[in-house]
Structure 1
Amino acid sequence: MARVVFRDARIYLIQWLTKIRHTLNQRQSFNTDKEHLRKIVRGMFWLMLLIISAKVAHSLWRYFSFSAEYTAVSPSANKPPRADAKTFDKNDVQLISQQNWFGKYQPVATPVKQPEPVPVAETRLNVVLRGIAFGARPGAVIEEGGKQQVYLQGETLGSHNAVIEEINRDHVMLRYQGKIERLSLAEEERSTVAVTNKKAVSDEAKQAVAEPAASAPVEIPTAVRQALAKDPQKIFNYIQLTPVRKEGIVGYAVKPGADRSLFDASGFKEGDIAIALNQQDFTDPRAMIALMRQLP
């Protein structure tokens, strides 16, 4: 019996000691956790204190640094509205309305019908236009009373009080008794006229020449050709040429020589003024030399 009691007492003692040790372990663990919690709370406290101090310092700095400027420029909340506030708004609206947001309106102009030019009547003067020469200053060969004369633009005809108003390729405009009249190239001259374009060698070089001569080269009689082949200077036995000058050479007055064969073959009439022959422009001083080379 005593042995059983002793065994139970020993078991009870072991259990009691185990409980005491377990309790001590729990207290030690609780103390450790409590110490850690205390450190965390202390750190959070100092962090919050640092943040609050920084905010207070920043607010004080802004207050002392910018209070004067804010007071000077900030309008008062109780300030009455400006008297011209309504006018200013109207000006803004007007300024906006003046902006061409979608493009400026362009009214379509109604085309004005130009009056048709009045046809110029042909002159009734007893004159004939035989030829037209274009150069630095255009000239017209006009026959009056059977005699040919070269006229420049702005000059007055010898037999009539008519002024050369304008010189064109196939007609001349005359101002006679306050009216503009047209003098067209004679039909016999119009059928044989040829226009030769030239390259300009200077600002005053000619651009074109209207020739009162056959568009095809003149057929020189065989006897004349053979004679000129031997002696080109004999051309003056067939045709006599006299330069017609008016601010430079404008042509050559032609007359028949002792032998009229070449004169008649060329289609000239006595007293005519030759402007060109065989596509050689006589207003060019070099044309006569070129013509002499073509004769043989």
Structure 2
Amino acid sequence: MTWVKMLTPRLASCLTALIAALLLAVLAGLCWQVVALFRGVQLPSVGPVVATSISKSSAKNYDVQSLLAVPLFGLRPSNAVAATEIQKDIRRSALKITVIGLVAGNDERGVAVLRHGNKTKAYGIGEKIEVPGTVTLLAVLADHIIIENNRKQEKIELDQKAGATGLRAASTNSRPSNAENVDLSTAGIRELVGDPRDTLQNSPLQLVRFFSVNPVMDGGRLTGYEVKPGRDTRLFSQLSLEPGDVLLSVNGQSLSDMSTQELMKMMENTSSYELLIKRADTILTKRFDL
């Protein structure tokens, strides 16, 4: 039996504490000796002239305002059409184009829903209209559009019958004949999202699992948002949406003009949402009631 085993438990504890204290004392002494070695070392001083010159050089080469002005993500494509001056006393166009819907926007962000023959399509400003010849949409106004037909400006007024259907942004009282009402308060929808109004206003991120939304750009301009089903496809099908549908406007306001803050404010002050949707070459209107 060794001498350690002969010690009483209490005495062994005391010896352990004493040894630990001695080790700490030795380590502390070593640390102070190491510190003392570096006390006498003098770091080279930098002259004031050098510091001034470095400061000036840094200010010159790394000016924050200049860096912020650099287009790190590229420049927005210039739109020659937006710079085109709209003439006065423009004559009516003889083209067989029917304006069935207008979503007037700021600058180059307006959208016009045009029908030619049996084809209906939404066009943004600057887009070439799919008709014979060279015809481009120049401007979208409250009750008519301006086009450029072979370098001549012409206007086409909103068809009054189509304007009465509710596709016109300025009119929200009447309902379009192809409109579809969707009641968001049904049991199936509430089972997925709870109270629709409360979810939209207070917890919109809960809807992320149901939808995938991507901006649709045309010539550098935002024209709308493409929607696709998310991980959970149940809500998408209950809303009668189809993958690839493009949302153009909400309650008559073009989505290309609306900021996130404006959209959230609209959600707080309305009990229904009327969406203008582009599906392939067809324009649909859907009304969602809370």
TM tier, shorter chain?
0.3 to 0.5
The structure carrying a bigger strand percent of its residues is 2
Q: Highest Rg: 1 or 2?
A: 1
- With normalisation by structure 2, the TM-score equals 0.38
- With normalisation by structure 1, the TM-score equals 0.38
Relative contact order, higher structure (CA 8 A, sep 6+)? 2
The structure carrying a bigger helix percent of its residues is 1
